[in-house]
Amino acid sequence: MTSKTKVVTVRLTDEQYTFFNDWQKKLQAQTGIEVPMGAVIRRALEGFMHFASSQNRQESPDLREAQDRLQASKEYVTEYNQKMRSDKMTIDNAEYKKGFAEHYEEGRPVWDIGKPQAPFIEIADRIKGPILDVGCGSGSVAVFFAEKGNTVTGIDLVDKAIERARAKAAAKGLNVSFQVKDAFTLIESDWRFPSIIDSGLFHVFARDLERQRLYVEALAHVIEPGGTLYLLAAKDQPEGSIALSGYSHDELVDAFSEGWKFESIKEFMAEVTPEIAEKHPDVEWSTWFAVIKRRV
Ligand SMILES: C[S@@+](CC[C@H](N)C(=O)[O-])C[C@H]1O[C@@H](n2cnc3c(N)ncnc32)[C@H](O)[C@@H]1O
């Protein structure tokens, strides 16, 4: 066999197409890269050649070439995945860390109402641990769920937030694992959780599609198949509103379109700290609360 490539058109029956299509999806899920249909069919042929050759119990040049090609494609996929992984980790959140740290240095941040927002309280009994609270801030939500008997881990980018969260749990005699950790590093983690809470982190990336993608991938990595994400994120705001502008309904749904299923999504008015409420009595803090399941 020469190394020259021949392009041929093949006509598949519906049954063959379904077979190759399923296989293509499986390969894509395993490798995390787009696998063209032609490559799937080529692999099937190589497998067949291998099988035929082993049946004949003879080493054929065709088989050697097929094996070389398989080896080369395996190396390519490994390298590609390593590159993707290191690209993911180059995301630099130093500016975010600095910005959020300033909020905590100044005292009580504007979002810190000292308890979970109402939708979390409404469905609290449905949320089962172990729970990961991503961007847990000063820990009020994590502590609330730990008080209900759940095992809870809370992570935040800012040291001061985690210091406060630890103090809050200690004051109540609760054992909550609070760690300073960048949510994007979850893509490398061995952790797995049936329930994840995000109360106000995802909306930080509302204008940053790349961060949205990487963040959602990181969550997908640590959530168990069939697990549930409880997400609170600001809604997009009308022109001129001083409320934090987040996502339109469609933007939110699009961000979780691969491998997730929305169980519910509703709009509600978020509570703000008394100081902010007094300062801006007419502002509507419209917010999304979504329950999103990871497909099995
Ligand atoms: C709007 S606050 C919400 C805090 C908390 N969930 C609450 O409900 O009070 C967003 C939090 O996300 C944290 N944060 C921002 N970027 C992060 C990242 N890359 N990884 C982890 N936490 C992050 C911030 O430090 C901040 O505490």
The candidate with the shortest Cα–Cα distance to 185, out of 282, 75, 92, is 92
Task: Say if ligand 1 is within 6 A of residue 285 CB.
Answer: no
Please give the model's pTM, rounded to 2 decimal places. Answer: 0.74
The answer, yes or no, to whether any atom of ligand 1 lies below 6 A from the CB of 156, is yes
d(CA 173, CA 171): 6
Q: How confident is the model at residue 244 (pLDDT cuts 50, 70, 90)?
A: confident
pLDDT tens for residues 8-51? Answer: 666 777 777 778 888 878 877 777 777 777 777 777 776 666 66
Q: Is the CB of 151 under 6 A from ligand 1?
A: no
- Residue 120 Cβ inside 6 Å of ligand 1? The answer reads no
Tens of pLDDT, residue by residue over 113-146, are 999 999 999 999 999 999 999 999 999 999 999 9
* Predicted local confidence at residue 162, as pLDDT: 98
Helices (H) and strands (E) in the chain, counts: 10, 7
Alpha-carbon gap, residue 240 to 253, rounded angstroms? 25
Which tens digit of pLDDT belongs to each residue from 79-102? 655 655 555 556 889 999 999 999
pLDDT at 103 over 80: yes
pLDDT at 78: 64
For the chain, which domains are there? 14-89 (no CATH), 95-294 (3.40.50.150)
Q: Does residue 208 contact residue 184 with C-beta atoms inside 8 Å?
A: no
pLDDT of residue 88: 53
Q: What are the strands of the beta sheet with 223-234, ordered from one edge?
A: 177-180, 152-156, 131-134, 193-199, 223-234, 286-294, 260-269
Tens digit of each residue's pLDDT (9 = 90 or more) over 179-214: 999 999 999 999 999 999 999 999 999 988 999 999
Mean pLDDT, rounded, of the chain: 86
CA of 178 to the centre of ligand 1 (A): 13
